[in-house]
Amino acid sequence: MKKMKAVIPAAGLGTRFLPATKAMPKEMLPVVDKPAIQYVVEEAVSADIDDILVIIGRNKNAISDHFDSVPELEVRLQQKGDHGRLERVMKSSDLADIHFVRQGEPKGLGHAVLRARTHVGDSSFAVLLGDDLIDERDPLLVDMIAAHERTGAAVIALMEVDPSQIHMYGAAAVDETDTDGVVKVTGLVEKPAAEDAPSNLAVIGRYVLPAKVFEILERTEPGKGGEIQLTDALQELAAETDGPGVVGVVFGGRRYDTGDRVDYIKAIVQLAADREDLGPGLRPWLKEFAERL
Ligand code: G1P
């Protein structure tokens, strides 16, 4: 079977992180010692994906440079005998076959995904949003790909959130299925007010989509915020009665949101505290710090 390709939309303006994102895309902000986008690329690679298309906006050079090799740096680390760092530096240029396409005007997530049409062609594909980091110890994408292969449906990742938070996400109306952790999605609304939300199941940024979604996106009108929303295209698929529709994989693992400043800081602290090389130095200080608060 042909391997699935992945699409990573990375054309957002990163307004919440200005001025850090004035000359650098937000996907390049470091999470401990790797840019956020590298975690997402590594996640795709660990789901057996080796062809990745990044949809870029302005300031794209930092992203493409990051996934390129830097011979001068490699030679220098080699000379210094710093093999650990050398390996880590080379890893980012050796992960996968990474391609880039420009979004042009930023007209929303649906529009960004539509820019992948030529590269993806007629096959199903995965979409991974860089603001959501999924802990590598809690795999999600492999389960979503399996659900897609089993059902032929578009597969979205869902997570229970506090009802007061649902206005920041796509929200899903669902029915149970015979499979634990897999639900049938009967409706989707982009960023509803708490009182209008069909549930507290939020769409998190992982999707496995049939190529048919491109046809729908072609005619999807701007929705919430005047943008072409992927959620609206998926709502159309969910409403179809003669196809496999949309299913949701409910994720109960560790997810870090790097799109919001406070959550970004939490992500860094949690990931660093868990690491073997940094945790022992950080954890005792964290305890002490927390006591002082
Ligand atoms: C996008 C989607 C939204 C989803 C969210 C997950 O919104 O439009 O449905 O819940 O990602 O992170 P954004 O956060 O890009 O505004």
* Judgement on whether residues 185 and 239 belong to the same structural domain of the protein: yes
The best mutation among 158, 165, 169, 209 to test binding of ligand 1, ranked by most ligand atoms within 8 Å of the C-beta, falls on 169
Please give the distance, rounded to the nearest whole angstrom, from the Cα atom of residue 165 to the centre of ligand 1. 12
* Judgement on whether residues 150 and 274 belong to the same structural domain of the protein: no
Please give the distance, rounded to the nearest whole angstrom, from the Cα atom of residue 170 to the centre of ligand 1. 6
The best mutation among 27, 109, 114, 134 to test binding of ligand 1, ranked by most ligand atoms within 8 Å of the C-beta, falls on 109
What would the pLDDT profile of 127-170 be if each residue is shown by its tens digit? 999 889 999 999 899 999 999 999 999 999 999 999 999 999 99
Please give the distance, rounded to the nearest whole angstrom, from the Cα atom of residue 132 to the centre of ligand 1. 9
**How many CB atoms are closer than 10 A to CB 153?**
22
* Judgement on whether residues 269 and 243 belong to the same structural domain of the protein: no
Check pLDDT > 80 for residue 230.
yes
> pTM for the whole thing?
0.93
In the chain, count H helices and then E strands.
11, 13
Degrees to nearest 5, angle at CA 179 with 253 and 234? 75
The DSSP result for 6-42, as a single string, is EEEEE----GGGTTTTSSS-GGGSEETTEEHHHHHHH
Check pLDDT > 70 for residue 61.
yes
Report the number of distinct structural domains present in the chain.
2
What confidence tier does 94 reach under pLDDT thresholds 50, 70, 90? confident
Is 129 near ligand 1, meaning CB less than 6 Å away? Answer: yes
The residue whose CA has the least distance to atom 11 of ligand 1 is 205
Please give the distance, rounded to the nearest whole angstrom, from the Cα atom of residue 108 to the centre of ligand 1. 10
Q: What is the pLDDT of residue 203?
A: 97
Please give the distance, rounded to the nearest whole angstrom, from the Cα atom of residue 276 to the centre of ligand 1. 32
CA distance 238 to 216: 12
What confidence tier does 254 reach under pLDDT thresholds 50, 70, 90? very high
* Judgement on whether residues 188 and 101 belong to the same structural domain of the protein: yes
* Judgement on whether residues 130 and 248 belong to the same structural domain of the protein: yes
Q: What is the pLDDT of residue 161?
A: 95
Check pLDDT > 70 for residue 226.
yes
Residue in 179, 118, 125, 115 with CA at minimum distance from that of residue 155: 125
* Judgement on whether residues 217 and 235 belong to the same structural domain of the protein: yes
Residue environment code for 39-73, b if the CB has 16+ CB neighbours within 10 A, otherwise e:
bbbbbbeebebebbbbbbbebbeebeebbeeeeee
The residue whose CA has the least distance to atom 15 of ligand 1 is 109
* Judgement on whether residues 143 and 165 belong to the same structural domain of the protein: yes
* Judgement on whether residues 25 and 139 belong to the same structural domain of the protein: yes
Degrees to nearest 5, angle at CA 26 with 129 and 57? 75
**Choice between 1 and 90, residue whose per-residue pLDDT is larger:** 90
The residue whose CA has the least distance to atom 10 of ligand 1 is 169
Structural domain including 291 reads 260-293
Q: What is the pLDDT of residue 58?
A: 75
* Judgement on whether residues 265 and 136 belong to the same structural domain of the protein: no
* Judgement on whether residues 40 and 75 belong to the same structural domain of the protein: yes
* Judgement on whether residues 155 and 138 belong to the same structural domain of the protein: yes
Which atom of ligand 1 lies nearest, measured to the CA of 170? 9
**How many CB atoms are closer than 10 A to CB 20?**
13
What confidence tier does 84 reach under pLDDT thresholds 50, 70, 90? confident
Strands annotated E in 82-230: 97-102, 125-128, 132-134, 154-160, 170-176, 182-190, 201-209
Report, as an integer, the average pLDDT of 38-45.
95
Is 204 near ligand 1, meaning CB less than 6 Å away? Answer: yes
Is 258 near ligand 1, meaning CB less than 6 Å away? Answer: no
| Tokens 């003669």 belong to residue | 242
Helix (H) or strand (E) holding 291: helix 279-292
Please give the distance, rounded to the nearest whole angstrom, from the Cα atom of residue 111 to the centre of ligand 1. 13
Is 189 near ligand 1, meaning CB less than 6 Å away? Answer: no
Q: What is the pLDDT of residue 11?
A: 85
Please give the distance, rounded to the nearest whole angstrom, from the Cα atom of residue 215 to the centre of ligand 1. 21
Phi, psi of 22 (to 5 degrees): -65, -45
Report, as an integer, the average pLDDT of 99-115.
93
Is 128 near ligand 1, meaning CB less than 6 Å away? Answer: no
For the ranges 75-79, 82-86, 195-199, the one whose mean pLDDT is highest: 195-199
Q: What is the pLDDT of residue 85?
A: 83
Give the bridge partners for 201, in sequence order.
Answer: 160
What confidence tier does 1 reach under pLDDT thresholds 50, 70, 90? low
Is 235 near ligand 1, meaning CB less than 6 Å away? Answer: no
Is 203 near ligand 1, meaning CB less than 6 Å away? Answer: yes
- CA distances 5 to 70, 97, 169, 192, 288, Å, are 26, 10, 25, 31, 46
Is 155 near ligand 1, meaning CB less than 6 Å away? Answer: no
CA distance 37 to 8: 9
CB 214 within 8 A of CB 153: no
* Judgement on whether residues 105 and 246 belong to the same structural domain of the protein: yes
What would the pLDDT profile of 276-287 be if each residue is shown by its tens digit? 999 999 999 999
Please, what is the average pLDDT of the chain?
93
CB 49 within 8 A of CB 6: yes
For the ranges 54-68, 92-106, 267-281, the one whose mean pLDDT is highest: 267-281
Report, as an integer, the average pLDDT of 202-206.
97
